[in-house]
Amino acid sequence: MAHAQNTGGSSLALSASSNSVAVLPDDPSTAISYTAYEAGGPITRQQVREERTASLHMKYIPAGWKVLPLSPHDKVLLGLKDLYSPFSIGSIVISAGYSHLANGQPNYGTNGGAFAQRVGAAFVRDSSEGIFTDAIFAPLLHEDPRYYVEGSDYGVIHRSLYAITRPIITRSDSGRPRLNAAMLLGYAGSSALTYAYYPSSNRNMKDTVATFGGGIGGAALGFFVTEFTSGIMQRMHPAAK
């Protein structure tokens, strides 16, 4: 038995057969595999390799790969794993380095000790952004925190606009496009938390708003880089685990 529903020019097709998939709106390159998931059975490694199904703990999904729905527990683990990925750690160091060279906020100074403080502050800020967004608000608001690479089937302008708008637009657990409330609230909460560890000179509304804007801008840049380095990412993850 199968049925299809049109949503804004896109379709959501479900089937109970062993090879069925659900095509997600606004992202024809991605599908949810229901092969053994709906039946409650285990999904073997061979199925994963054959169907190119992403691991539940992959946050950045290569173009054309299938995904499984995330439970609240999966989202928590996804967020925690992403915090300590090489990409996240590299972003923290780069962010702290830029702030140090520009002598920007948080204003610790420009000596070696100040750089270490900046790295620590960046780690706390990025960690709290990830925990608030992926582990708290995404489960509560039923949002999918993963980034779905569009890939070379789309033009450069389309992919660029898609990537930089993901901090504002995401998808629900059912695949429908919606406001990325989890990220906006998560980054707002993380920015407010800087009152607890930033220098006193930066504990004000102006700097808090700047921290929030910088975080959203950094997320957009990160998605942009991911979109156009997806080939490298796919080689790093040849099969889900």
- 37 in the same domain as 142: no
Omega within 30 of 0 (cis) for the link into 106: yes
Which of 49, 67, 85 is the endpoint of a domain? 67
Please tell me the total count of domains within the chain: 2
- 224 in the same domain as 182: yes
- 147 in the same domain as 81: yes
- Would you say residue 241 lies in a domain? no
Which of 67, 101, 117 is the endpoint of a domain? 67
pLDDT digits (tens, 9 = 90+) for 52-92: 888 888 899 999 899 999 999 999 999 888 888 887 888 88
- 116 in the same domain as 58: no
221-227 long-range contacts, Cβ below 8 Å, gap at least 24? 221/164, 222/87, 222/91, 223/147, 223/163, 223/164, 223/166, 223/167, 224/160, 224/163, 224/164, 226/60, 226/147, 226/149, 226/163, 227/149, 227/150, 227/159, 227/160, 227/162, 227/163
Burial 175-211 (b: 16+ CB within 10 A, else e): bbbeebbbbbbbbbbbbebbeeebeeebeeeebbeeb
- 97 in the same domain as 63: no
- 127 in the same domain as 51: no
pLDDT of residue 166: 97
- 124 in the same domain as 25: no
- 124 in the same domain as 36: no
Pull the structure tokens for residue 201: 């000179």
pLDDT digits (tens, 9 = 90+) for 139-190: 999 999 999 999 989 999 999 999 999 999 999 999 999 999 999 999 999 9
Which of 67, 83, 116 is the endpoint of a domain? 67
Which residues is 179 bridged to in the sheet? 169
- 76 in the same domain as 63: no
Could you tell me the residue range of the domain that residue 44 belongs to? 2-67
- 199 in the same domain as 118: yes
- For residues 129 and 79, give the distance between their C-alpha atoms in angstroms, rounded to a whole number: 10
pLDDT of residue 104: 82
pTM above 0.85, yes or no: no
Percent of the chain with pLDDT over 90: 51
Element (H, E) at 220: helix 205-228
- 115 in the same domain as 63: no
